[in-house]
Amino acid sequence: MKAAVLREINKPLVIEDVQIDNPGPREVLVRTAAAGVCHSDYHFMNGSYTTALPSIMGHESAGVVEKVGSEVSYLKPGDHVISCMSMFCGSCRYCLTGKPYGCDNLDDMAREDRIFKGDENVYQGYNLGSFAEQMLLHEHALVKIRPDMPLDRAALIGCAVTTGVGSVIHTAKVEPGSTVVVIGCGGVGLSAVNGAAIAGAGQIIAVDITDEKLALAKQFGATNGVNATNHDPVEAILELTSGGADYAFEALGLKHTCEQAFDMIRPSGTACIIGMVPEGQKIEINAASLINDRRLIGSNMGSNAFRIDMPRFVKFYMQGKLNLDALISRHVSLEEVNDAYTEMLSGSVARSVITFDID
């Protein structure tokens, strides 16, 4: 099969032919239909986070089951599925207390001898490796979805939507009528805007550096937009909200925007960091602000229970509540993946989606 492989940090992905194993007892072979081009992979590609090499990138995907292992009962060939990097064992303290996204036993479910090039082992980024024509995954990395859901839209639920919407409804628990700010209008940020609208927020303010992204955010439910290149975003938010937002979500993973998110909230407000801040970076806040019950929290992929959440998000899309159509800026081939990352870094797209021929 063809796959986009990271062989060197800060070098383009290489399209290679690799060999994939047959499923083990609890594994599933999936024919990849679509994979979103997400900034999270780029953190590993540029060295902000460490990864084993060589590694197939990609983690936001959907496809069709081809084969299942001898002990798999949840899935069968022909099922349509979404992958998720929040694999769960179902028996650790996190899984048993309703926090499967924090599972303690991921390493036990991710063997390192699934994909090869000759005698060389090729790793799977996030234990998924979605930038490939096939994926061999533990059954607990997959959720079955209804077959009438378009798979290119479904792929976005695999990361951007679950992270953005989940951070709003699960992590921060946004209340109806509240004031919400979202910094960064890429795939995750736009999903957070959409999630705030679904949660019934009374005012949703999008912050970005391009007017095009701010206009797009209004299609997802934003009531206001602030261009951070033209205005001090903190001052603008304090003025628009008469003293600060109830909730602020940072969807870029930058030190200064994380600090801005905290400065935008009112007393008893919550700033939620959903972007991936590079390893080792520190976020600085005014400690005196904590006296006023302000909260700075993180979110692990929207604090999801993905086998429950993702089918719900599919239903939301089919009901017209979740705007996945406008989230896709363009479709690309696997061979165009490096161009897609160049576009993503320019800030000119919300999400590019790699599509595969699965006929």
Q: Is residue 256 annotated as a catalytic residue, yes or no?
A: no
Task: Indicate if 214 and 95 belong to the same structural domain.
Answer: no
Q: Is residue 95 annotated as a catalytic residue, yes or no?
A: no
Task: Indicate if 293 and 173 belong to the same structural domain.
Answer: yes
Task: Write down the pLDDT at residue 107.
Answer: 79
* Residue 320 burial (10 A CB sphere; 0-12, 13-18, 19+): exposed
CATH of the domain at 132: 3.90.180.10
Average pLDDT over residues 324-347: 94
CATH of the domain at 246: 3.40.50.720
- Low-confidence winner among 9-23, 112-126, 193-207 (lowest mean pLDDT): 112-126
* Helices (runs of H) and strands (runs of E) counted in the chain: 11, 20
Instruction: Give residue-wise pLDDT tens across range 171-195.
Output: 999 999 999 999 999 999 999 999 9
Contact (CB, 8 A) for 29 and 36: no
Spot the catalytic one: 39, 59, 138, 170.
59
Task: Indicate if 177 and 260 belong to the same structural domain.
Answer: yes
Instruction: Give residue-wise pLDDT tens across range 275-293.
Output: 999 888 999 999 999 999 9
Q: Is residue 170 annotated as a catalytic residue, yes or no?
A: no
Q: Is residue 40 annotated as a catalytic residue, yes or no?
A: yes
Angle between helices 211-219 and 187-199 (to 10 degrees): 40
Q: Is residue 289 annotated as a catalytic residue, yes or no?
A: no
The yes-or-no verdict on residue 111 having pLDDT over 80 is no
Residue found by looking up tokens 């997802």 in the block: 220
Examine residue 27 and state whether it is found in any structural domain, yes or no: yes
* Confidence class for position 320, pLDDT limits 50, 70, 90: very high
Q: What is the pTM of this model?
A: 0.95
Task: Indicate if 350 and 295 belong to the same structural domain.
Answer: no
Which residues are bridge partners to 138 per DSSP? 27
Examine residue 24 and state whether it is found in any structural domain, yes or no: yes
Examine residue 254 and state whether it is found in any structural domain, yes or no: yes
Instruction: Give residue-wise pLDDT tens across range 134-156.
Output: 999 999 999 999 999 999 999 99
Range of the domain at 43: 2-145+328-355
CA 69 distance to own-chain centroid = 28
Task: Indicate if 60 and 111 belong to the same structural domain.
Answer: yes
Task: Indicate if 189 and 270 belong to the same structural domain.
Answer: yes
- Cα separation, 340 vs 254, in Å, equals 21
- Cα separation, 244 vs 181, in Å, equals 9
The overall average pLDDT reported for the chain is 95
Spot the catalytic one: 84, 95, 159, 258.
159
Examine residue 169 and state whether it is found in any structural domain, yes or no: yes
